[in-house]
């Protein structure tokens, strides 16, 4: 039935495209606005994590090695800093891919949602690992002063939680609509005509 023509000489796809021009325009505008905001956040995280990798907690000794090199918490700091840097770089690249997209009708089916899903997931991950790096750095600097770093580390979970609460529903909805069952995959009841 994809190639059937109605009384106006249009296929179903052509009719859908004609009647939903406004929806495509609004979708493009929404996607650009959301992507621009997320790109700014990702770029800030890239900048912060890059700088944190070279201004390590405690500084360096006379030979140039980090003072806390043998501390397990220092390794946690370095690993989480690197993970945050790489995941935020990935999110920025995904969002840039969305911004430079051609926004064709077929791109809205899988290409753009896939990029948005990857971008949001890596942005979530980069924020979480950034807070882990912050907490590990604070723990290194304030050893023996648990009354200071314990409440601060607990407060570090607040931004991660807020961001997840604000954007997780979007990520979930996009994943379900892109990769979940569509109306064409469902088992249809067959109509039996008894004559």
CA distance 36 to 43: 11
pLDDT band at 194 (very low <50, low <70, confident <90, very high): low
Q: Is the confidence at residue 3, as pLDDT, over 90?
A: no
- pLDDT tens digits, 114-147: 999 999 999 999 999 999 999 898 888 887 777 7
Q: Is the confidence at residue 149, as pLDDT, over 70?
A: yes
Q: Is the confidence at residue 183, as pLDDT, over 70?
A: no
Handedness of CA 30, 33, 37, 40 (dihedral sign): positive
In the three-class reduction of DSSP (H, G, I as helix; E, B as strand; rest coil), residue 60 is classed as: strand
Q: What is the pLDDT of residue 64?
A: 77
Across 105-115, average pLDDT: 86
Give, for 117, the enclosing helix (H) or strand (E): helix 111-141
Buried-exposed string 95-108: b where 16+ CB fall within 10 A, e elsewhere:
bbbbeebebeeebb
127 versus 164: the higher-pLDDT residue is 127
Q: Is the confidence at residue 27, as pLDDT, over 50?
A: yes
Residue-range domain boundaries for the chain = 16-177
Which residues fall within 8 angstroms of residue 87, CB to CB, at 6 or more apart? Answer: 122, 123, 125, 126, 129
């Amino acid at each position: 039935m994809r190639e059937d023509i109605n009384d106006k000489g249009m296929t179903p796809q052509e009719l859908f495209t004609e009647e939903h021009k406004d929806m495509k325009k609004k979708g493009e505008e929404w996607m650009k606005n959301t992507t621009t905001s997320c790109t700014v956040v990702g770029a800030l995280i890239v900048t912060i994590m890059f700088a944190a990798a070279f201004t390590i907690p405690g500084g360096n000794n006379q030979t140039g090695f980090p003072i806390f090199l043998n501390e397990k918490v220092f390794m946690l700091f370095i690993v989480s800093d690197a993970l945050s840097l790489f995941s935020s770089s990935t999110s920025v690249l995904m969002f840039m891919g969305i911004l430079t997209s051609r926004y064709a009708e077929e791109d809205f089916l899988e290409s753009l949602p896939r990029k948005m899903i990857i971008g949001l997931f890596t942005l979530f991950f980069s924020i979480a690992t950034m807070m882990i790096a912050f907490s590990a750095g604070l723990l290194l600097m304030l050893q023996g002063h648990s009354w200071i770093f314990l409440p601060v580390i607990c407060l570090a979970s607040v931004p991660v939680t807020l961001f997840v609460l604000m954007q997780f529903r979007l990520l979930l909805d996009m994943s379900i609509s892109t990769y979940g069952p569509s109306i064409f995959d469902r088992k249809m009841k067959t109509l039996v005509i008894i004559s």
